[in-house]
Each structure stands twice: as C-alpha cells, then as structure tokens.
C-alpha cells in the first residue's frame, strides 16, 4: 500500500466550548462513590484525563462538521469545486439515513459530481476515510477529497452517570465496564488530501498498512443514540484492561509490517500522532512498539477520548503549534475497537496553520506545555524494552 501522488494538505479541528472536568464528573457520581466508598481522584488517576469538552445539547454532528470543513478550506485556501469526494467518518451521525455526508455536502455547496458517503468504524472512521480518498487520488479518479467527522459524547456521559448512581446492584467489580464511557469527549476533525500536482505543501502520504484482530470484537460494545433521543440514552460496555492488552498486541504485529512497508527504522520516525485513549494505554503502546514516548503528541489530558476525531485533532493542534516540521517522518497510528489497526506514513514538508479561537487558546497552550514538559524530561534513549503482554 504505497502512494506516489497523494498529499495530506491540511488538518482542521473544532473544540466545543463547554468544558467538563473529571472532578465535576466525580462530584456528580457522589451517590455511587459514597455507597461503594470509592476514593476521590480515582478516575483521573487511572486515565490521566483532567477534562473533556461537550457540544451543545441537541446539536447534530453534521452541523459541526460543516463548520470544521469550512475552517479546513479556509486554512488550505482550497477551491471547494475541486473536491471530488466527501466522507463523513465519525461514529455519531445525524440520522440512520440519509448519510450525514449528504447534509454536509449540501450546506458546503460542494459540486454535484462529488461522491459522498459515510464511513463508520469505531475510532478509525476518519483514518479509513483518508485511505479511501488516497486510493481514489492515486487511481486518478479525483484531484482532492475531504474526510470529516464530529463526535458528541454528552448522551453517553449523562446516561452512564445516571445508571451508575441509580443501579443499586452495581458493586466495585461490575462498574468497571462503564468507566471507559466517562473518558469520552466531544470533538470535530477533518483532513484534506490532494494530488501532488495541485498541492501547496508537498506533505506526502507514502503508504501504510492495516491489521485486524476480530477475535476480540466484543471487548467494547455500544448501543448508541448519540443525541439522546431515546430515553434510555447511549450505553457502552468496555473491558478496558483486556481491550488495552489486545489492542497493543494487534498494534505491535501491525507495526512490524508498517516498518517493512515503509522501509523505515524506528529511530527514523520523528513524530507520532495516535488515537488518544488513556495515559496507561499510551505508555504500554510505546513500550511495546519500542518507540520513545516523547515523539507522541498527547491531547487526552484536556480533550479526553474523542473517538475518530482524536487522531486528526491531535495532528492539527500539533502541526499548527510546531510539534512537527519540514523533513519529519510522521506515523499516524490508528487503533480502534473491533479490533482494527491502520497505520499511515507521512513525509512532512510544510504546515498550513489556522489561528485558534481565543476561547481555545488557553486549552491549547496547556496542551503544548504538557507536551513540551514531556520531551524535556524524557530519557535520552530512543528505545524501550518490549512490554510483556499476555
């Protein structure tokens, strides 16, 4: 899976205005914490997540996706009439049908020749969309394409808190499958890919690999109405520990094929943008891949797990703030429940950056300080011993 003519022109993101801290979630879980005598600070200690953001109640994902694509087009100064494919790649959608991409296409005024559809694959939908657009560009079918997605977590958080507080049969053991739901945040991300002949950046997509470990497809399962239109709300059951172990195992095998496909050595990878799950997951993943943790750009501490939007949002924030630069070799590591793995290799040249909104500046500054501190305190060794996994 190699490309000669595909460029990743730009990333874009939108952060919701409302901030919900982990401390506030634990305060709302006071009945559960009191009944089971759980220690305060447990959730942040386990996940490393301090806060996450929420879109307004009742907002359709497609509404926000339109705003994110508009920002993407402005950043890239791209003529929307050149867009040959539009994919909506998040778990959350406006309706069962039509595709959310339809309303996004209509509101953006994209050309009628533009192919439009939705892709849903847990946390990999947007990265899968990148791959599909890249294939069409390489085949000469289109010159440019956009994949966008918006995840809304309010319903899942609200229904999880409500159930944990009201179900008196729950004990310390049985609450564990619900705790991953409390890490989820809202966000919106988009990516523009173009043929290299019309690219302003020359940011080459070199290729990638995919992997599947579907024996473990039941480790994270969700019954979802993301807007809360069903009175039961959204529910998700996750075996977090086993999902982490099996996900890292799947990533480890896929990563070896990724190195073989790209011809890269580990020490030639300058920067990594990966799916954002939790602090322990990141540590175990990078130990298993034998990569230094300081080359990874982390946003989970302040944005939580934003599903399919996590990787493109991290890439957008990191690129705009100088985390990656000309000549960097960048690995995009997507790992999602199922278990699916998709890894892409970029050769970076130039970043088209958009200034963040004043409302987002404080959060982005904190994200940058955290990542800078991580690099400054990292051990000088470029490799770690492989993690021992069952």
Which residues are catalytic, by number? Answer: 97, 123
Q: What is the DSSP string of 177-221?
A: HHHGGGGB--EEEEEEEEEGGG-SS--EEEEEEEEE-GGGTTSEE
**Which letter does DSSP use for residue 337 in this model?**
T
| Residue 169, φ and ψ in degrees, nearest 5 | -80, -10
Look-up of token digits 């990724």: 258
For strand 271-274 and strand 144-151, is the pairing parallel, antiparallel, or unpaired?
A: unpaired
Angle (nearest 5°) at CA 281 between 241 and 118: 95
CA distance 316 to 203: 14
How many Å apart are CA 50 and CA 302, to the nearest integer? 6
Structure tokens at 317: 């924030």
Residues 26, 38 contacting (CB under 8 angstroms) = no
192 in Cβ contact with 9 (< 8 Å) = yes
Give the CA dihedral 109, 113, 117, 119, nearest 10 degrees.
-100
């Amino acid at each position: 899976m190699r490309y000669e003519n595909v460029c990743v022109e730009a990333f874009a993101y939108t952060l919701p205005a409302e901030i919900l801290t982990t401390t506030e979630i634990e305060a709302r879980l006071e009945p559960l914490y009191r009944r089971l005598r759980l220690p305060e600070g447990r959730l942040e200690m386990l996940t490393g997540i301090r806060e996450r953001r929420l879109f307004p109640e009742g907002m359709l994902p497609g509404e926000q996706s339109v705003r994110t694509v508009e920002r993407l087009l402005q950043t890239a100064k791209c003529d929307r009439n050149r867009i040959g494919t539009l994919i909506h790649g998040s778990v959350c959608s406006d309706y069962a049908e039509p595709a959310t991409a339809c309303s996004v296409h209509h509101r953006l005024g994209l050309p009628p020749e533009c192919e439009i559809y939705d892709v849903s694959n847990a946390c990999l939908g947007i990265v899968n969309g990148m791959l599909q657009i890249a294939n069409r560009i390489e085949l000469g079918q289109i010159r440019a394409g956009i994949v966008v997605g918006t995840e809304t977590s309010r319903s899942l958080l609200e229904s999880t808190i409500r159930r944990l507080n009201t179900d008196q049969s729950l004990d310390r053991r049985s609450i564990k499958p619900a705790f991953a739901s409390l890490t989820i945040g809202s966000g919106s991300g988009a990516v523009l890919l173009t043929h290299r002949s019309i690219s302003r950046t020359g940011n080459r997509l070199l290729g990638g690999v995919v992997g599947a470990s579907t024996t473990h497809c039941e480790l994270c399962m969700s019954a979802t109405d993301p807007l809360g239109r069903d009175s039961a709300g959204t529910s998700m059951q996750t075996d977090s520990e086993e999902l982490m172990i099996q996900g890292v195992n799947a990533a480890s095998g896929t990563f070896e094929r990724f190195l073989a496909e790209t011809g890269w050595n580990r020490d030639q990878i300058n920067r990594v943008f990966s799916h954002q799950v939790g602090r322990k997951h990141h540590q175990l993943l990078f130990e298993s891949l034998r990569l230094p943790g300081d080359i990874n750009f982390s946003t989970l501490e302040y944005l939580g797990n934003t599903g399919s939007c996590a990787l493109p949002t991290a890439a957008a924030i990191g690129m705009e703030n100088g985390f990656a630069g000309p000549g960097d070799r960048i690995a995009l590591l997507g790992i999602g429940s199922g278990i699916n793995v998709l890894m892409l290799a970029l050769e970076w040249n130039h970043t088209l950056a958009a200034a963040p909104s004043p409302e987002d500046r404080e959060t982005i500054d904190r994200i940058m300080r955290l990542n800078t501190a991580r690099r400054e305190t990292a051990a000088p060794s470029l490799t770690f011993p492989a993690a021992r996994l069952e």
